[in-house]
Structure 1
């Protein structure tokens, strides 16, 4: 029986490196089969091809920064992970990121609830196979950088939900408030109320969106 593993990274050499490491892993008599992709469009097509062929993806290893598939609003590895969660409910998801900002990490955890989450620069050829074994055995793994970023949020007494995180992150990416409803399933009035609450916490209610982003960056949230 095959153990189906999807690996998505924009660099083919990185994908091949993961495959070399995982090929040496004991899958308890299951044979690993690797589904390789380097961008969101190809990964999207591979997901739906697997569904058509009734192939169950058992594990997905996804980088967050990927060339987007704008036609279906799949902009990064997080969007791909959401799609995989929807289509393959038992799939274990490992997210690899170069971003360690507390809000970005918290957003990934709350949106995806990945079985594995770590910074790309923390992976070594020695540590990765053992981490992978823990995850396929049913454990949750978060790297030191991820744990520290969550502690930073706790120390700042920030306890927003995923929509609050989305609002602040999208604003920092240059998305205008009037366009946020295209990214977040809330009404404009609900978004405005949430943004006002964020400003209350960070700016005591006073300041522009630019001031808000500047403050969030200054205290290490972004």
Structure 2
């Protein structure tokens, strides 16, 4: 029985490297079948195609930062992983990222609960196959940078909900408050209340969006 693997990264050479590292020789009991994509749109369509054809998606290796698919409101690898969790709940998910900011890490862990979450700076040609093998053997693998980012939030005793994290991320990306409700399922009034609470925590209500983002970046939280 083949092992269906989805690899999504916006750098074709990286995708090819992952495929080569997870070659037929690596798998001794199953035959891997690789599906590759370089953006959210084609990955989105492949995921739904597997579901429509009643085929299992067994292992997904996804970069967090990807060209978006605006038509379906799929902005990045986090959104793709959410889709996979809904359509293929038994699929193992390995997320790779260059961004280990605390709020992003918190959002990924809370929403996706990935089987693997790795900073790209901590993986190489030798460790990558071993990480994949452990994940397929039911281990949960988070790299040191990801774990440090988690601890940073715990040490500062921040008790944010998932939407608070998303609001900060969207603001940092230049999304206007009035448009945030297009990205998360909250009303404008709820978003404004949460945003005011965050500003009160960091700025004591003194300052705007730029000051807020600068402050959380100074604290290493974004």
Partners of 2:2 and 2:169 in 1: how far apart? 39
Matches within 5 A, 1:146-185: 146-185=146-185
Indicate the SS of the match to 1:182: coil
Give the CA deviation at 1:53.
2.2
Partners of 2:40 and 2:134 in 1: how far apart? 27
Unaligned runs of 5+ in 2: none
Indicate the SS of the match to 1:65: coil
Residue in 1 aligned with 2:140? 140
Per-residue CA shift, 1:111-137, capped at 9, x if unaligned?
Answer: 211100011121111111211111111
Runs (4+) of structure 1 exceeding 3 A deviation are none
Unaligned runs of 5+ in 1: none
Indicate the SS of the match to 2:181: helix
Per-residue CA shift, 1:87-140, capped at 9, x if unaligned?
Answer: 101111110011111111111111211100011121111111211111111111
Matches within 5 A, 1:3-18: 3-18=3-18
Matches within 5 A, 1:1-222: 1-23=1-23, 24-26=25-27, 29-222=29-222
Partners of 2:48 and 2:128 in 1: how far apart? 28
Partners of 1:78 and 1:66 in 2: how far apart? 10
Partners of 2:96 and 2:12 in 1: how far apart? 15
**Which TM-score applies when normalising by structure 2?**
0.95
Partners of 2:48 and 2:104 in 1: how far apart? 28
Per-residue CA shift, 1:151-201, capped at 9, x if unaligned?
Answer: 111122212011000011111111111111111101112112211221122
Partners of 1:208 and 1:49 in 2: how far apart? 44
* Number of residue equivalences: 221
**Which TM-score applies when normalising by structure 1?**
0.95
Indicate the SS of the match to 1:121: helix
Partners of 2:98 and 2:136 in 1: how far apart? 23
